[in-house]
Amino acid sequence: MSDPGFAIEHEVFSRAEVGRVKSALACDSLNRSRAGARHILSSRPIAELARDERLLELATRWLGARAIPFKATLFEKSPTANWLVAWHQDTALPMDTARVAPGWGPWSKKYGVSYAHAPARALEKVVALRIHLDDSDHSNGSLRVLSRTHEDGVLTDAQLLERAQRIESVDCHTLAGGVVVMRPLLIHASSKATSQKPRSVVHIEYTNSLEIEPGMLLRVA
């Protein structure tokens, strides 16, 4: 069966459930930036969400083995925090220890966490679930993807641009409670919102082992 590198799962959660998550996050002491908050898996409502059986089953289906959440990020667009993201792949992973290894690097620090740009062989063992806390459509900067581009491996900036000019994008629209599943090597982007509607998304990454390669241990963040 052909794998486009993404899927939209509607109505995974009820509006009441995502409303409770939004209320819990509003009361949580997250270290927010203009675009949201990084490294939030230690937040109790996010940890509970990441281990919800519906998400674990969905991630396991895509990974082909038991799923472990290891990273969570909150993205928030609003009239006061409106931003765009150019076409890119998600190639950096949070790592327990910085070390020299074939295919890994360059390394960097984000909010005190070591990150490495990972090789395709490692990124193929990761899947992201994007839980929508608000309705998402073309007017509030929804995710756009280029189908099947995860099959091309880690690409250069020039290769990303070439594909963005050649391949028709797909808008990932869903109502609050929907989940967009995405492989990290899939080329994706989002535009600035053109309406006043907020768009909050919890982006959780899963793998089947924190030791993603021998000697290379992911950090839970």
Q: Do 135 and 198 touch, CB atoms closer than 8 A?
A: no
Distance, in Å, from the CA atom of 77 to the CA atom of 79, rounded to the nearest integer, reads 7
64-114 confidence digits (pLDDT tens): 999 999 999 999 888 778 878 999 999 999 999 999 999 999 999 998 999
Just give the CATH number of 6-194: 2.60.120.620
Q: Which of these, 68, 92, 107, lies nearest to 205 by C-alpha position? A: 68
User: What would the mean pLDDT of 37-47 be, rounded to a whole number?
Assistant: 94
Residue 1's pLDDT is what? 57
Residue 158's pLDDT is what? 97
User: What would the mean pLDDT of 139-163 be, rounded to a whole number?
Assistant: 96
CA 5 to chain CA mean position, Å: 13
| Entry pTM | 0.96
Distance, in Å, from the CA atom of 11 to the CA atom of 118, rounded to the nearest integer, reads 33
For residue 110, give Cα distances in angstroms to 31, 57, 114, 118, 216: 13, 30, 7, 15, 18
Count of CB atoms situated within 10 Å of the CB of 118: 27
9-34 confidence digits (pLDDT tens): 999 999 999 999 999 888 887 877 77
